[in-house]
Amino acid sequence: MESGVYIAVFYLHSRQRIAVGKLGRRVFHEGFYLYVGSAQRNLSVRLERHARKDKPLWWHIDYLSVKAEMLGAVIVPGPREHECKLAKELGGVFKLAVPGFGASDCYCGGHLFYARRLP
């Protein structure tokens, strides 16, 4: 599958203050981070990029992904419009990690969610 919406799951091993582009320096606590994104082509390349540590820092997720361990991803077939719907669903279960994170091109509160432990 080379297109779709995904939830990339990261684990941050210790509390860190991380500069996130224009969002500024933010505190990230030890725990799990779930990032909702989409790729309408080259989905596998996008996920591989999220897992790499050596890369230019371009998207909000890049600033976290170079510090955290990517555990894997859940892929959901569908158009880009489902990205925000999925983020809204996760927001009903998990805490929004950083307002505006990953949502610079939409009207969502953010696309990064935090859990100290996963259910």
Domain limits for position 51: 4-115
Q: What confidence tier does 119 reach under pLDDT thresholds 50, 70, 90?
A: confident
Task: Report the residue count for the chain.
Answer: 119
Q: Tokens 């933010």 correspond to what residue?
A: 26
More confident residue, 33 or 119: 33
CA distance 30 to 2: 32
Residue 42 has pLDDT above 90, yes or no: yes
Q: What confidence tier does 78 reach under pLDDT thresholds 50, 70, 90?
A: confident
CA distances from 23 to 12, 73, 105, 110, 113 (A): 19, 24, 14, 12, 16
The predicted-structure confidence for 81-111, as pLDDT tens digits, reads as follows 899 999 999 999 999 999 999 998 888 999 9
Whole-model pTM above 0.85? yes
| Total of domains in the chain | 1
Residue 1 has a pLDDT of: 64
